[in-house]
A and B are shown apart, each in its own frame.
Chain A
Amino acid sequence: MSGDVDRINRYVLSSLGFVLIVIGGYGLARSFGSLGDRYSTGAFLSTNVTSFVARNSEWFWVVAALAALLVGYLAWRWLASQIPTPNSLGQFELNSDDSGGFTRVRARAAANGLARDIARHDAVRAARVKLIADARSPEVEVKVDVYENADFVSVRAYVEDEALERFQRMIDAVDLRASIEFNLSEAPARSLA
């Protein structure tokens, strides 16, 4: 998510920067007479420009207002993308059977259960789990602090093949999507006792 925001920012900032460089470069070139002396000595708002606007004022200002609204809308979308949206899931329903009944599960309780299951592994220092809203089914975000001296392959196998599989069966999810971030922690000092 934060990667998406950074990508959007890079694109928009580069585009705006390029536009400003073109405007500044054109202005300076014209100001110093690089485009011809008659362009550098005129007024900033020439009679040609003002008379063009006056002649076409019926549609010009409508187009200008619409353009301003379009820029404002795009800028608003850009601004909104900077603000992280709380997408944590409150609760979800288990797949119902033919009886018509259903079971609601509190997402935080389910997430804590998965975190505890992952943290049972000896090489895991801590685990945090968040269930996030998705259009089709819950999606899991997992952060696992792993001791750096551990057999990392076996930790991954435990988290992905065992803990996540158990969780998937528990919440009766068919295609559970998961994003797991491992953070390497310093190995605990060995006790001499």
Chain B
Amino acid sequence: MRTLSRLVAAALALALTAGALLVAIEIVLAGVGAGPLVVPYDSWYSNGRSTMWDSAVARRAFILVLILGAALLLMGLVRRRPLSLPLSTRHELVGTHVARRGLERSLSRAATSVEGVERATVAASDTRARVLATASRHETGNLKELVTAAVNERLGGLRLAGQPSSDVSVKGMKS
């Protein structure tokens, strides 16, 4: 999502820059009596005079604008997990962080180090580390407590600034 929004942002910024510059140039050229350079504003004007507000083409255009706007708003508002999580500060001029992906992989290894855990996926944010572990057997027993302890031990050793809480769930292997 982060990559997509960066691509969309770059494309939009480029289109807006080029479009706005073109509009300014066309206005200046029209002011000195020259015809349209790139933008066919003569035919756009004719279409604008002949197209009615309740026409199908106008409705289709407004629906498209509405969908585009909703997509951009969604892209802008969706909450993304940070690339790194801040550690507790020891020196005023030194900012320290731990990379989120490395932390997630490490917590996953901590969870799978518990005997009876087959695999674990972790999604960490600055407030919570969500762990979904899969047991190697049907019964999960006390695996949740053991995985929580392993994850908390690793999290606690880092002294993260926000000290995210762990949220562990364990599911048994399907028989």
Contacts and interface: CB of A to CB of B under 8 A. Distances in A.
Given A181-B97, A184-B102, A21 B20 contact: no
Interface string A78-90: 1100100000000
B84 A20 contact: no
Contacts, number: 214
Contacts of A18: 69, 73
B161 interface: no
**Contact-residue bracket for chain A:** 35 or more
Contact of A45 (B12, B45, B158, B159): B45
A45 B49 contact: yes
Contact of B20 (A12, A72, A179, A181): A72
B48 interface: yes
A42 B63 CA distance: 19
Contact of A13 (B5, B96, B109): B5
B20 A5 contact: no
Main secondary structure of the interface of A (DSSP, over half): helix
B93 interface: yes
**Contact-residue bracket for chain B:** 35 or more
Interface stretch (B23-31, B127-135, B137-145): B23-31
Given A17-B72, A18-B69, A31-B62, A182 B96 contact: yes
A160 B96 contact: yes
A3 B82 contact: yes
Interface string A126-156: 0000000000000000000000100111001
A104 B147 CA distance: 54
Given A14-B72, A185-B102, A44 B52 contact: yes
A113 interface: no
B95 A30 contact: no
Given A9-B9, A82-B9, A14 B76 contact: yes
Interface of A: 2-3, 5-6, 9-25, 27-28, 30-33, 39-45, 50, 61, 64-65, 68-69, 71-72, 75-76, 78-79, 82, 148, 151-153, 156, 160, 164, 175-186
